[in-house]
Amino acid sequence: MLHTFDAQALSSTDVHDPERKSSLMTLLKLGVGFVISMYVIYCLITQKVWIRKVFAWRTRDEYPKVFLMNIIGGTLIAIWLIAGPLLID
């Protein structure tokens, strides 16, 4: 079976289509928000946080301020990324 080139079908799936860009951006925001929320949940379960200064996981007791900043900041960013596209679009 010989396939022919269909210019009409190609133009309908154009990557410069604003609707397609919007849906890709929405999926990207949801994905990043999900990953951040998984990190926050992992930190809460293990009571550890990743410290870049020592490049290792440290406990909540060793770095209490950093732990709280990660939990609060990560939660707010994840909510913003997940709820924003769902409420606005």
Q: Is residue 73 part of a domain?
A: yes
Residue 87 lies in a domain: yes
Q: Is 69 part of a structural domain of the chain?
A: yes
Structure confidence by residue, pLDDT tens digits, 6-53: 555 555 555 567 777 788 999 999 999 999 999 999 999 999 999 999
- Flag whether 7 is in a domain: no
Domain presence at residue 63: yes
Structural domain boundaries, residue 58: 40-89
Query: Domain for residue 25, yes or no?
Result: no
Question: Does 8 map to a domain?
Answer: no
> Number of folded domains in the chain?
1
Pick from 43, 80, 78: which is nearest to 64 by CA? 43
* Residue pair 65/24 in contact by the 8 Å Cβ criterion: no
Q: For the chain, first and last CA: distance in Å?
A: 42
> 38 with 78: CB under 8 angstroms?
no
Is residue 85 very low, low, confident or very high in pLDDT (cuts 50, 70, 90)? confident
Which of 4-8, 72-76, 82-86 has maximum average pLDDT? 72-76
* pLDDT above 80 (res 79): yes
Q: Is residue 28 a part of any domain in this protein?
A: no
